[in-house]
Amino acid sequence: MAEDAIRAVGLTKVFRDFWNRPKARAVNEIDFTVKEGEVVGLLGPNGSGKSTTVKMILGLLYPTAGQLTVLGKAPRAVETKREIGYLPEESYLYKYLTAEETLDFFGALFNLSRVERRKRIDQLLDMVGLAHARHRRVGEFSKGMARRIGLAQAMINDPSLLIFDEPTSGLDPLGCREVKDLIMELKKRGKTVLITSHLLSDVEDICDRVVILYGGKVRAQGSLNELLTVSDSTRIITPTLPQDAMSKVLAILRENLKGEEFVMDHPRRTLEEFFLDVIATAKKDSVETSGALGGGIAEYLSAAEDKESAVIESLIGADEPVREQPKAEDVAAALASELKAAQEQRVAELTADESAPKVDKDEAKVKADAEALKAADAKLDDLLKNR
């Protein structure tokens, strides 16, 4: 049986004013659980307590009352934070860093090795479709591109629990579909995902269960099948029937329904399905666009049971060795050697010119140039000896 990734019992948060008087009860004794490997939607209108609940899960706020455990530990424990990836509603990133530098920075915060950071950065940028913009500053990104790099930073540490706040905000329909596919792939790899979103169609597509908040309380929770199935009506979908068969079906329905109304129509695709079909056709015709995500999920995003072995293998079997940067002293010596060789060649040329027949040359100027080069050469030798 799956363990609880998040467990809240009687969770309450009361905000107080300057004189410590209760000002607002943002969350009021809520109970809910999120099982490991589930995708759960946390829903509710603005002011319902979603953001406060997420902040308590992240350890950014202390609960006033109740119990809350995340991955079996206290939310504020360092071990807990190490296993969480978070995408806020707005991606707060350093605008003067490039996409590559941004991911490297967050990877360093999790104490990842340089080799592992480089490997993960390449995979993540390809996964979110930003490989072409890896050297562009984040401040130059559009909202959709900033959202993509935010998704990448949330996964740099290969977390067990991912919390996405409006993950498809700012993305085009193709990007939305690919983010939803990404979340489903994360679920297959054993990740737990908690999503807050106002786009109910997105939640319906990918979530196993939903928790609906209003006024700081849980008003409904359960699987989508439990909550959305209409038990007092039946829908039958068949291929197109011949006219005589259709007449027989209608006759049977009228006889059994005894005057009650019924509806017969043709199935209709959603606009999203039609849009994605058009894009798929364009892709077959080799029409490219920079708005799409990249080539599948990053390989390093492992399931919980094989995370340790995957990290060890990646460190042992790195594709490329880390290249040593040349020392500054070696570079200076090499440049000095090249300069000295060029000066010696020039002095030799000038000396040879002195023994040749003079053709409208200023002999004094030639000798002065030769002496100047010899003096410069002597100074360079002194510098190299004293270095």
Residue 18 is predicted with a pLDDT of: 85
186 in helix, strand or coil? Answer: helix
Pick from 65-69, 229-233, 239-243 the range whose average pLDDT is largest.
65-69
pLDDT above 90 coverage of the chain, percent: 41
- The sheet carrying 22-35 orders its strands as 22-35, 4-16, 65-70
Residue position matching structure tokens 């129509």: 265
Asked if the model's pLDDT at residue 16 lies above 70, the reply is yes
Residue 95 in tokens: 């605008």
Q: What are the percentages of helix, strand and coil residues in the chain, rounded to 5?
A: 45, 20, 35
Question: Looking only at Cα atoms, what is the longest distance across the chain?
Answer: 125
Distance, CA of 145 to CA of 129 (rounded, Å): 9
Contact 355, 349 (CB under 8 A): no
| Distance of alpha carbon 83 from alpha carbon 275, whole angstroms | 36
Q: What is the pLDDT of residue 318?
A: 43
Give the H or E element holding residue 371.
Answer: helix 363-386
The mean per-residue pLDDT over the stretch 311-323 comes to: 46
Residue, of 299 and 207, whose pLDDT is higher = 207
Task: Select the more confidently predicted residue: 368 or 228.
Answer: 228
Distance CA 382, CA 23 (A): 77
Mean local confidence (pLDDT), 3-26: 91
pLDDT score at 302: 63
The whole-chain average pLDDT of the chain stands at 80
pLDDT score for 76: 94
Q: What is the mean pLDDT of residues 10-14?
A: 96
Residue ranges with strand state E in 123-174? 161-165
The predicted pLDDT at position 320 comes to 43
Q: What is the pLDDT of residue 258?
A: 72
Task: Tell me: pLDDT of 13 over 70.
Answer: yes
Q: Is the pLDDT of residue 290 over 90?
A: no
Distance between first and last Cα of the chain: 70
Q: What is the mean pLDDT of residues 354-359?
A: 48
**What percent of the chain lies above the pLDDT cut of 70?**
68
